[in-house]
A and B are shown apart, each in its own frame.
Chain A
Amino acid sequence: ETGVTQTPRHLVMGMTNKKSLKCEQHLGHNAMYWYKQSAKKPLELMFVYNFKEQTENNSVPSRFSPECPNSSHLFLHLHTLQPEDSALYLCASSQGLAGGGTQYFGPGTRLTVL
């Protein structure tokens, strides 16, 4: 099983839809992250979870709702998104406070909002 997996890899949704992105890490890490990567913009940190507790919410609109039920799984619930939310959403994990900040990324979910 590869280190960090994300599903689905591609998602097209309307502005009124509700969908969820899933991330799973098989590295035994304690911290997980959501990043957004838009065209011609740098990677933007959205949320940080350390030991299942949210430690960072980088001023993300409430139409994005994260959930971290355990150290291996991270979800991003989406509702009433806007076309400008179309982007590549990347999940990453790291040892967190226990062992340093090196982050390993999943392949991403390419989201298109119509």
Chain B
Amino acid sequence: QQPVQSPQAVILREGEDAVINCSSSKALYSVHWYRQKHGEAPVFLMILLKGGEQKGHDKISASFNEKKQQSSLYLTASQLSYSGTYFCGTERSGGGADGLTFGKGTHLIIQP
């Protein structure tokens, strides 16, 4: 079952913050976040495993609430390079055997 991402699109000015949500109606093993720029392959950002955790590097972090089956991606002090489409991909079992089920994506536009 496809996870639901919100919002569908965000327009920000450089330096502003953004939150992108990803929710599932099914129990999840992990949530993966990717960013894709136009005409390029999706680039892995981070993975969050069940058990509920938070991760982050630089100004991009994420959380996974296992009880709600919801993950959020936090972009703080956004930079122009953050523009792109953000996808969450979910796994219901571990190890990659089932592949990822992706949401429809959130389009993020950062303006100077």
Contact = CB atoms under 8 A, between A and B. Distances in A.
B47 interface: yes
B2 interface: yes
Nearest to B29: A101
A43 B97 contact: no
A45 B96 contact: no
Contact of A101 (B32, B34, B102): B32
A97 B95 CA distance: 4
A101 B100 contact: yes
Interface residues of B, number: 26
Interface of A is mostly: strand
B97 A42 contact: no
Contacts of B30: 101
A102 B34 CA distance: 10
Nearest to B87: A43
B52 interface: no
Contact of A102 (B41, B47, B103): B47
B94 A103 contact: no
B84 interface: no
B98 A42 contact: no
Nearest to B47: A102
Contacts of B102: 42-45
Given A97-B96, A100-B94, A101-B30, A45 B101 contact: yes
Interface string A33-69: 1010000011111001010000110100000000000
A43 B47 contact: no
Interface of B: 2, 29-30, 32, 34, 40-44, 47, 87, 89, 91, 94-105
Given A102-B44, A102-B47, 11 more contacts: A4-B41, A42-B105, A55-B98, A100-B94, A101-B29, A101-B96, A102-B32, A105-B34, A105-B42, A105-B43, A107-B41
10 contacts: A4-B41, A35-B99, A42-B102, A45-B99, A45-B100, A48-B96, A48-B98, A96-B95, A101-B91, A103-B100
